Structure 1
Amino acid sequence: MKISRLLVFVFLITPYFLLAQTKEVLFSIDNNPYYTDEFVRVYKKNLDLVKDDSQKDLDKYLELFIGYKLKVEKANKLGLQNGNNYQNELKSYRNQLSKNYLNDSKVTNELIQEAYDRLQQEVRASHILVLVDEGASPADTLKAYQKITAIKKRLDAGEDFITVAQQTSEDPSVKENNGDLGYFSAFRMVYPFENAAYHTPVGQVSKPFRTRFGYHLVKVADKRANRGEVTVAHIMLLKQDENGPKEKAKSTIDAIYQKIQQGESFESLAQQFSEDKSSASKGGILQRFGSGQLSSEEFENVAFGLKERQQISAPFETQFGWHIVKLIEKHPVGSLSEMKSELEDKIKRDERSLLITNSLAKKLRSKYDVNKNLTLLSKVKSVVNDKFYNQTWEVPAKNNQLEGVVLTLNKVKKVNSKVFLDYISSSQKGNIKTKPISRLVDELFEKFTDEQVLAYYNDNLENEFPEFRYVMDEYRDGLLLFDLMEKEIWNRAKNDTLALNTYFQDNIKNYQWKKRLQADILSSTDLKIIEKAQKFLKKGKSLDYIKAELNKDGKVNIISKSGLYEIDADVLSQFNNLSKGVSSIVSKDNYYFVVHVIDEKPSGNKELSETKGRVISDYQQYLENHWVDELKKEFSIKVNQDVFLKVKNQLSK
């Protein structure tokens, strides 16, 4: 599901559920009616969400609503509702939305409690993996199981876990980590692996267990109280490539650390020098994280090792480069009430959600009228044989005795035996070993019935839950609108190069370079130091010379950076009438700055290639602003003013 689709129209935000009300035709487009109940529901849903007060005005809101429906009508007229991508996107979203209804609250709450209890601890574990696909043949599965069992016997006999892991584990990372996975907590591993890790005592090795990756053995090295999460800021200098000066990053990070020790602002230095572009503009602040969430255990340990807010680490090295870290805040594990919603969301996305759906199936069986055709089921059993176990059984050719309805739900949904026979055939990949074969068929039929019950429930969510129907109706329209805008607006703006160039030339005043300067910017917290630097610049001294003269006795008194800047970029906006040569001195945020302007580039028109992304965006907005006017000419619109007046009166109460 593309996130951009969610942003198509403000009507498609959080559902609002409305009491039943009289349904009348509010307006029509080419004789297709649109009713008051939908208009009122959508208006109320968005009343507190729209930022523009004009959109709360009912007359203007009606115009917006009609414009929206005009676009949907246009999409239907073009047949976009029949497109494969549209159908697949709608199906995908419905599948996602329906997960909120495939829930058993009792089992969910038990899983929430289990997850919360586990979150109190972090486990450090190593593992040995023998790979085997979920749908592997019985022979391959047995071979893998025998291999993991043999490995377990070696460990039980006292062999060293690391040595055995290096020799036998099929996890590619074993060469680098000896099977050590570091510390982790709930939701960091697949559920069966998590279960084994938390159920195995420290110092012991688990029994062999299977995940979707294969068979595992887990050795638990340690269990400790969960460190929670931490928010830090950092200054990072990337490692130099093999051809670069190896000591440059180290000497620079040491110089920055020295300036911090001298009392200079961590945030300002991060903005000026950190090479982590995603955090530098925010003073180096990173998103909060917990153990095992970053790719560097060294970084995590330094971050969690800081005790007091605002405490700053010494420079340290990771595989990514050199860092200085500042502690912003520690976030201990919250209370169960605080975390319940978050844990429930994680459970729904996790393997343990299968426990919930299986429980729901049992409840739905008691709710629905489930009728099994046992006579026909007996005939099905008679044609399934032991070839199933080696995955060579095939559904018999047309057989009148096997035809008929094998399962009926609520006297409405009738499931043909052919569907069950195909289900049996596809189940051969699951390596099910239940014997005798009649018992295996009974086992499969119970699973098949659960799936059919859940599918019937899922298919009827619109009938059982009005709010589900509302959301699906709105997304159905919204996805159509997205496809229409892609076709009529976005692609047109990108692909019609002649029209785009015409728009660009007509609006060239909006695409101008400001005056640009090739310049060196020098900064210091000491006015006397920056004055000396200014004098050196005026004498034509190089940056290396200036740093050598002014950064003495172990102190970093001055730092510089160079580049091509627009006249108002960065600190340059603080200067008046910058031109070639050495500037005056200005101060900002406890720093003093001087600039050496090496070259100037005058203001002027940008080339289309230099600003094409922005021009395309502006042209798309221009096309969209004029789109509804074109649609009003294409379609016939009739508004029932008497009904609209009733709606106004109703909503004003």
Structure 2
Amino acid sequence: MSLKQFFLGLFFSMSLATMGQNNAKEVLFTVNDKPYYTDEFARVYKKNLDLVKDESQKDLNQYLELFVGYKLKVNKAYKLGLQDNSKYQNELKSYRTQLAKNYFNDTKITQALVEEGYNRLQKEVKASHILILVDENASPEDTLKAYKKIEDISKKALAGEDFGALAVQYSEDPSAKENKGDLGYFSAFRMVYAFESAAYNTPKGKISKIIRTRFGFHILKVEDVRNNRGEVTVAHIMILNPKPEDTDQDKAKNTINDIYKKIQQGEKFEDLAKQFSEDKSSSSKGGVLNKFSSGQLSSEEFESVAFSLSTPNEISKPFQSQFGWHVVKLIQKHPVRTLDEMKIELEGKIGKDDRSKKITASLNEKLRKKYTFKRDNKQYAIISKLVTDDFYEAKWKQPENSNKYTNTLLTINTKKIESKEFLQFVEKQQKSGTAVKPITKLVDVLYEKFLDSQLTTYYDDNLEAEFSDFANVMEEYRDGLLLFDLMEKEIWERAKTDTIGLQKFYEEHKTEHQWKNRVEATILSSTKMEEIKKALALLKKGTEVQAIKEKLNVGDVVNVMSNSGVFEEGNDALPKSTKFEVGISEIQKEGEYYFVTKVDKVMPKGIKTLDECKGKIVNDYQQYLEQRWVDDLKQEFTVKINKDAFEKVKKQLNP
């Protein structure tokens, strides 16, 4: 995800929360006589109130300063002509399309689809299928040929022939030769809607009717139905798989087996995860992962083991995935969430699914009732004769003089739509698979589609005029996109490329960026005092760490573990009593563990180089440049604040 996507995605979600507000407004301030109103200020303040972490930004006086600075930047963007950039215009159009989706919904139908999807999510279906490929826009002849194939196969399956063998012999799914058509377990929203419906409507052990999807014709056999496993929270310890060039290919496996033995000996899973797990995103949290459901992870092996655990704190045996060797501990199992908890998520899935076609049909019906529209039948009679049977073979082209067909064919309210637009629509529809005959009837069918598309376009074009909430959010988006482009141009790129300015800023602030004391060390640990004493004695004799482990870890018992690297003061893996001096420490006890630390090198605390703290320096430099820039903008533009209006809005927001 790009920075812009993140920035505007957050902006988008916040903007939706403002819909429905319509406060009375006064001019709050002007920038070069352009007015900005109290209602917008109040709306944005309320929207961001729970998101800001800096308490000073919740202060209304401070927030007004930020808001004025924001509008100054937007004015600067317009002054520079950034709104004329084609990339900006395309992005704005894309975001508008995303936002408009909220106005193309049918609440009643959506609710029914949400409930259907939720009910299906209670179960997971195991099914096998046979596919005969045919493009959804294939000719009637090719479509019929494919249908005859699947029909013959269906008869064989219904007659009792082995479904898996039929899949191997006839299915055009490339994986069928290996898996006999087996799709494994799946739940709602994992397959195309028609296929999913067939799976959930076919009893266990039975074969479905013939199904048509965009891939072709299918039949499926439901092998099993089970309750949805819900979600699970687990912790894990992972040792990464060896690289092909590693000399010791068994090191990861041996290490995870040693860790597992330590767990069996009673050592804490969380402590071992912090010390040894190579999944750095979870090791500091004792190996705990975010909860997940079936099919959510990219490792089937990991999911299978995680869901096989039944009792909290139960620990798996070591196993290997495509990422590494693991042991997994069950933290908690979570049943399928309630309908209320999943509603928003399910609505989003429906919008991306074939289910949305039902919503589209409902919208078309409503728009036909909402707007006044009229077709010029005389003009329609003229242009309908231009469409020939070439359409069925996707060879029909608009007349070369189609631009002459500028007479009005359709009027929606006051908007007039020319005949040539229908001709363009017809030409594009040749790939839609519409094969109604005769041609006169086909043109009538295409016209109805054209009418629906034009009504939808008219509705879309007028969203700002019909819905003030939509207009407000789009205005915020328009400014937000411009602001991003401006900040990138004026601040972010400059902070990255201005090497002289960055170096100077670093020199002025380098004392704020310090390393703590660090050591390059090896840490030996054990829960047994007698074993760590042996390790210490061997270490003092100069014995290599690997040799110490081989000597003390006898049979299946792991008595000693090691951890090597560079550790900064405060690192969880470094014993807190470690002395930052070269040499071998005495035995140290922390919690249930005994430690011995061999320090090979000490790196005292000191100022980080620019390269070592560049990310933080660049970020701080950006903020510094931005503040100076806002001060310059206040000189470039004339800002006048209506203090009376501001006092009124303060009382409204903080009564």
Structure 1 residue 517 displacement after superposition: 2.2
Partner of 1:536: 538
Structure 1 residue 26 displacement after superposition: 2.2
CA distance in 2, matches of 1:338, 1:426: 42
Q: Secondary structure at the match of 2:104?
A: coil
CA distance in 2, matches of 1:512, 1:54: 27
Deviations 1:180-236 (A, max 9, x none): 221110011221221222223333443443333344332322111222222222222
Code of the aligned partner of 1:291: S
Partner of 1:270: 273
CA distance in 1, matches of 2:326, 2:403: 75
Deviations 1:431-477 (A, max 9, x none): 21111111111111112222222222222222222222221111111
Matches within 5 A, 1:349-360: 349-360=352-363
Structure 1 residue 143 displacement after superposition: 5.7
Q: 1:505 to 1:12 in 2, by over 3 A?
A: farther
CA distance in 1, matches of 2:351, 2:597: 56
Deviates further, 190-199 or 641-650: 641-650
Asked if the contact 1:574/1:586 (under 8 Å) is kept, the reply is no
Asked if the contact 1:128/1:168 (under 8 Å) is kept, the reply is yes
Matches within 5 A, 1:16-95: 17-21=20-24, 23-95=25-97
CA distance in 2, matches of 1:274, 1:115: 39
Partner of 2:470: 468
Asked if the contact 1:567/1:573 (under 8 Å) is kept, the reply is no
Deviations 1:602-651 (A, max 9, x none): 44454433433333222222212322112112212122334334434554
Asked if the contact 2:18/2:43 (under 8 Å) is kept, the reply is no
Q: 1:568 to 1:285 in 2, by over 3 A?
A: closer
Deviates further, 250-259 or 68-77: 250-259
2:614 aligned with 1:590: no
Deviates further, 641-650 or 256-265: 641-650
Deviates further, 156-165 or 577-586: 156-165
Structure 1 residue 565 displacement after superposition: 2.5
Asked if the contact 1:9/1:478 (under 8 Å) is kept, the reply is no
Asked if the contact 1:521/1:593 (under 8 Å) is kept, the reply is yes
Asked if the contact 2:138/2:433 (under 8 Å) is kept, the reply is yes
Matches within 5 A, 1:140-151: 141=143, 144-145=146-147, 148-149=150-151, 151=153
CA distance in 1, matches of 2:243, 2:607: 38
Code of the aligned partner of 1:79: G
2:396 aligned with 1:393: yes
Q: 1:42 to 1:614 in 2, by over 3 A?
A: closer
Code of the aligned partner of 1:69: K
2:640 aligned with 1:638: yes
Q: Where in structure 2 are there 5+ consecutive unaligned residues?
A: none
Match 2:125 to one of 123, 126, 132: 123
CA distance in 2, matches of 1:213, 1:498: 59
Asked if the contact 1:182/1:292 (under 8 Å) is kept, the reply is no
TM-score, normalised to structure 2's length? 0.92
Match 1:455 to one of 418, 439, 457: 457
Deviates further, 371-380 or 147-156: 147-156
Asked if the contact 1:364/1:454 (under 8 Å) is kept, the reply is yes
Structure 1 residue 496 displacement after superposition: 2.2
Asked if the contact 1:519/1:598 (under 8 Å) is kept, the reply is yes
Partner of 2:294: 291
Structure 1 residue 289 displacement after superposition: 2.3
CA distance in 2, matches of 1:400, 1:544: 83
Matches within 5 A, 1:43-442: 43-136=45-138, 141=143, 144-145=146-147, 148-149=150-151, 151-152=153-154, 155=157, 159-174=161-176, 176-244=178-246, 245-398=248-401, 402-409=405-412, 411-442=413-444
Structure 1 residue 70 displacement after superposition: 0.3
Match 2:559 to one of 546, 557, 560: 557
Structure 1 residue 94 displacement after superposition: 1.4
Q: Cα RMSD between the aligned structures?
A: 2.8
Deviations 1:282-334 (A, max 9, x none): 22222322233334433333222222111112223344443222111111223
Q: 1:373 to 1:271 in 2, by over 3 A?
A: farther
Asked if the contact 2:405/2:418 (under 8 Å) is kept, the reply is no
Partner of 2:573: 571
Q: 1:242 to 1:177 in 2, by over 3 A?
A: farther
Asked if the contact 1:124/1:220 (under 8 Å) is kept, the reply is yes
Deviations 1:138-180 (A, max 9, x none): 6665565555455545545655443443455444444553432
Asked if the contact 1:296/1:318 (under 8 Å) is kept, the reply is yes
CA distance in 2, matches of 1:519, 1:386: 82
Code of the aligned partner of 1:366: K
Q: 1:45 to 1:602 in 2, by over 3 A?
A: closer
**Percent same amino acid at aligned positions?**
57
Structure 1 residue 507 displacement after superposition: 2.8
Structure 1 residue 422 displacement after superposition: 0.8
Q: Number of aligned residue pairs: give it.
A: 651
Asked if the contact 1:16/1:42 (under 8 Å) is kept, the reply is no
2:619 aligned with 1:617: yes
Asked if the contact 2:167/2:177 (under 8 Å) is kept, the reply is no
TM-score, normalised to structure 1's length? 0.92
Matches within 5 A, 1:488-527: 488-527=490-529
Asked if the contact 1:183/1:292 (under 8 Å) is kept, the reply is no
